[in-house]
Structures are given as structure tokens and as C-alpha cells.
Amino acid sequence: MKKPVIVILAVVLVVAAVAGGALWYESRQNNGLTLYGNVDIRTVNMSFRVGGRLQALQVDEGDAVKAGQTVGEIDRAPYENALMQAKANVAAAQAKYDLTVAGYRDEEIAQAAAAVRQAQAAYDYAQNFYQRQQGLWASRTISANDLENARSSRDQSLASLKSAQDKLNQYHAGNRPQEIEEARAGLEQAQAQLAQSQLDLQDTTLLAPSDGTILTRAVEPGSMLSAGSTVLTLSLTRPVWIRAYVDEKNLGQAQPGRELLLYTDGRPNTPYHGKIGFVSPTAEFTPKTVETPDLRTDLVYRLRIVVTDADDALRQGMPVTVKFTGGAAHE
């Protein structure tokens, strides 16, 4: 009788082991890996690109804003004055450039030609007078000093004639290429200053860069601000990311693109759906804020999970339970 009992017990043990293994395997397949994380807090420190007196803020802490919405303004008066000055500078530089390119007017050229004729007549008279003085000097009718005076007068008239001719040639040739380039550069510089003045005036209005919620209102109207000073802190609402951590032995399950289920305490039976978008290539120590059922001080890898069906119930920093469904990872 002992042998049949032993056989029966052995069969029962084998069946029990097989059933237990099957149940264990099914449990592992159904439950999968569970991680714990938080809705990632992503913020933008909003500031003006220019300084000045804060004139108004249109939002307060907790307000929801849309991308492109006006949330603050700086006093525009100084920048409007600078813009008017820049426009005047452009007009002056444009006029100078046009004048340089156009060259001299016909009236100026005519005046220069008349000056040449006048200088030519003066030279001709001085030359003839000098020649007569030379004849008189040959007959010793005049002194050497009189002859020298006539020569000096002739030379002065010749110098005046050459100067008048050079000026007329300059008027005919117009301005030099270097002068035109200088005028062009002055115009471009004035236009650049105008563009900067227009941009500065535009930057007196602060716009929300994306949809979100105002977390912090750092200053109040009337404050004097320097460029880049934080005025508001905006918490971004889209896209929603989950930050979680996985240890090395389960790292193989965390493949980019794998779909996950995300549970919050507020809706434990209705999960959100997410997809792994990023796995950190470097390990780090487990953050103190991460609660895991196994290890708390081992090296882990950070995951960024993109929530594909996020709604307004998911708030920044909210704790989330991440569950890997059974089966192979989605590539």
C-alpha cells in the first residue's frame, strides 16, 4: 500500500507545482512591472526683453492663459520716443545718401564754370602784364622789383585758375565711390537702429509663449524692471509628461514607444494611456521622492512618458502609478 500512496503524492506534487507555476506566470504576465512617478513640472520664467516701469499685469496666480495672450506691459513712452528719433535719423541718412549719389546740381556746376572763366581772364591779364613788364625791363624802363611783382601776380592768377578748374572737374565727376559707400553705410546703420527701436517697442508687451497656468506673480505694476527680470512663472500644460525611474534589471522592458497604463489616486479604476518617449542613457541614484516597493538607493534610469489622452485633471507634480502591461514591448 505504501508504494501507490507515494506515487499518488508525487503526482499531486507535480500537478500542484505545474499549476502554481502557471498561476505565477499568468500573474507576471497580467500584472507586469509597476513604477511610480509624477507629472513632470515644466515651467517658463517669463520676462521682458527690455527694461522699464511695469505698467500693467493682466493675469494673476492660478489663471489659465493661452499661447500669444498678452499678460503684461511696460511703459511704452520712452520706446515710442526712441522710435520717432530713429525714423528721423533714417530720413536724414536717406537724404544724405540720395544727395551723394546724385552729385552736384547744374547750378553749382554753372557757378564753378563761371569761376573758371573769371580766373582764366585774370590769368590772361596777369600774363600779358608780365610780358609787357619784361619788355620794359629789357629797356631798363622799370626796376627789377616791378618785374618781380608782375611775375608774382601772374603766378597767383595761375594758381587760382588751376583751383577753379579742379573744382569744376570735381563737380563734373560727382562724388567719389568711397563717399557714396560711406553714405550708404550711414543709411544702413540708421535703418538697423530703426528696426531695433521697433523691436524694443514690440517687446514692451509680454506674451504667453504657450498654453499654461500662472504659478507665480513675482512683481507688481509700478516696479522698475531690468531686461530679463522674471515677472511671471508659467506652468506648461501641454504636452503632459510623466517622470518615472526604472532599475537596471527591468530596464529591458522600458523601450521607447512602449505603451503604458497610468493611474492616479483620483481615478484608480480608469487609467490614462501613455507611451515611453525617452529613456536616459545614464544612471543616477534613486531620488528621495520616488517610492518603489523594492530598492530605494540603487542606480536607476529616468523615463519620460508622454500621456496620449491627458486632460485637465492631470496637474503638475501629481503622483502617478505606471503599469507595464503584459507582453512584449512595442517598438
Q: Could you tell me the CATH number of the domain that includes residue 273?
A: 2.40.30.170
Query: Does pTM surpass 0.85?
Result: no
Q: What is the pLDDT of residue 17?
A: 63
Q: Is 233 exposed, middle or buried (0-12, 13-18, 19+ CB in 10 A)?
A: middle
Strands 224-225 and 34-39: unpaired
Q: Are 304 and 277 in contact (CB under 8 A)?
A: yes
Same domain? For 156 and 189 the reply is yes
Q: What share of the chain is helix, strand, coil (3-state, %, to 5)?
A: 45, 25, 30
Place of cell 523594492: 294
Instruction: Return the closest-CA partner of residue 260 out of 204, 308, 317.
Output: 308
Instruction: Return the closest-CA partner of residue 322 out of 38, 41, 25, 26.
Output: 38
Instruction: Return the closest-CA partner of residue 126 out of 162, 154, 159, 161.
Output: 154
Same domain? For 171 and 97 the reply is yes
Is 107 in a helix, a strand, or coil? helix
Q: Are 149 and 172 in contact (CB under 8 A)?
A: no
For 13, phi then psi, to 5°, come to -65, -40
Q: What is the pLDDT of residue 7?
A: 60
Same domain? For 112 and 153 the reply is yes
Q: What is the pLDDT of residue 331?
A: 40
**Residue 189: which H helix or E strand, with range?**
helix 177-202
Residue 7 covered by a domain? no
Residue 6 covered by a domain? no
Neighbouring residues of 59: CB distance < 8 A, sequence distance ≥ 6: 65, 71, 72, 214, 217, 232
Q: What is the C-alpha separation between 154 and 213, in angstroms, rounded?
A: 91
Q: What is the pLDDT of residue 293?
A: 54
Residue 320 covered by a domain? yes
CB atoms within 10 A of CB 232: 25
Residue 258 covered by a domain? yes
Q: What is the pLDDT of residue 1?
A: 47
For 37, phi then psi, to 5°, come to -150, -165
State the 10-residue block means of pLDDT for the chain, 331 residues long: 61 61 47 84 92 96 94 97 97 92 74 84 87 82 84 89 80 76 94 97 96 93 95 89 89 89 90 91 68 60 90 85 68 40
Q: Which of 184, 217, 236 is the last residue before a domain boundary?
A: 236
The strand pairing partners of 245, in sequence order, are 302
Same domain? For 144 and 224 the reply is no
Q: Are 108 and 173 in contact (CB under 8 A)?
A: no
Q: Which of 196, 219, 247 is the last residue before a domain boundary?
A: 196
Same domain? For 141 and 182 the reply is yes
Same domain? For 265 and 208 the reply is no
Q: Are 247 and 298 in contact (CB under 8 A)?
A: yes
Note the residue count of the chain.
Answer: 331
Q: Which of 196, 227, 247 is the last residue before a domain boundary?
A: 196
Residue 57 covered by a domain? yes
Is 268 in a helix, a strand, or coil? strand
Q: What is the pLDDT of residue 271?
A: 93
Q: C-alpha grid cell for residue 232?
A: 511671471
Residue 155 covered by a domain? yes
Residue 14 covered by a domain? no
Residue 13 covered by a domain? no
Q: C-alpha grid cell for residue 279?
A: 529613456
Question: CATH no. for residue 65?
Answer: 2.40.50.100
Same domain? For 223 and 245 the reply is no
Q: What is the pLDDT of residue 107?
A: 75
Same domain? For 297 and 225 the reply is no
> For the chain, what is the domain count?
3
Same domain? For 217 and 301 the reply is no
Same domain? For 103 and 192 the reply is yes
Q: What is the C-alpha separation between 246 and 257, in angstroms, rounded?
A: 16
Same domain? For 192 and 220 the reply is no
Neighbouring residues of 125: CB distance < 8 A, sequence distance ≥ 6: 157
Range of the domain at 127: 85-196
Same domain? For 66 and 129 the reply is no
